A and B are shown apart, each in its own frame.
Chain A
Amino acid sequence: MAAFLLLEGSFGQVADTLSTTIPSFTDRLNFALPLIVLLLILMLFLMLKSYESERSQ
Chain B
Amino acid sequence: MGRIIRFFDERFDLSLIRNWIQHKSVPQHKHSFWYYFGGLALFLLMVQIITGILLAFYYSPNPANANESVRYIMGRVHYGWLIRSIHFWGANFLIAVVLVHMFSAFFMKAYRKPRELMWILGVVILGLVLTFSFTGYLLPWTTLSYFATKVGVNTPMVIPIIGDFISKIMQGGEDVGAATLTRMFTLHTVILPLITLALVSVHVLLSQVFGSSVPISVKHADGETRFFPTFLMRDAAVWSGTFAVLLAFATILPANLEGKVNPIMPAPAGIKPEWYFLFIFQTLKTIPEIAAVGVITMGGVVWLMVPFLDRKPSEGKPFFTLFGIGVVAYTLAMTVIAYVTTAQH
Contacts and interface: CB of A to CB of B under 8 A. Distances in A.
A51 to B, nearest CB: 8
Given A9-B65, A46-B236, A2 B230 contact: no
Nearest to B233: A50
Interface string B182-207: 00000000000000000000000000
Interface string B40-75: 000000000000000000101010110111011011
Contacts of A19: 71, 75
Interface stretch (B164-172, B239-247, B309-317): B239-247
B81 A23 contact: yes
A49 B234 CA distance: 9
Contact of B71 (A15, A32, A46): A15
A11 B60 contact: yes
A6 B234 contact: no
A29 B273 CA distance: 30
B240 A20 contact: no
B76 A57 contact: no
B76 A2 contact: yes
A46 B68 contact: no
A9 B75 contact: no
A20 B68 contact: no
Interface string A41-54: 01110110110011
Contacts of A21: 75
Given A6-B65, A47-B234, A18 B241 contact: no
Main secondary structure of the interface of B (DSSP, over half): helix
B74 A39 contact: no
Chain B interface category by residue count: 35 or more
B243 A39 contact: yes
Interface in B231-280: 231, 233-234, 236-238, 240-241, 243-244, 247-248, 250-252, 254, 257, 260
A29 B71 CA distance: 21
B244 A6 contact: no
B229 interface: yes
Nearest to B80: A22
B241 A12 contact: no
A22 B74 contact: yes
Contact of B65 (A12, A23, A25, A31): A12
Interface in B72-101: 72, 74-76, 81-82
B6 interface: no
Contact of B240 (A12, A32, A39): A39
Given A10-B64, A18-B71, A43-B237, 17 more contacts: A2-B76, A6-B69, A9-B60, A11-B60, A11-B64, A14-B68, A18-B72, A20-B75, A25-B252, A28-B82, A28-B251, A29-B252, A32-B82, A40-B244, A43-B238, A50-B233, A57-B230
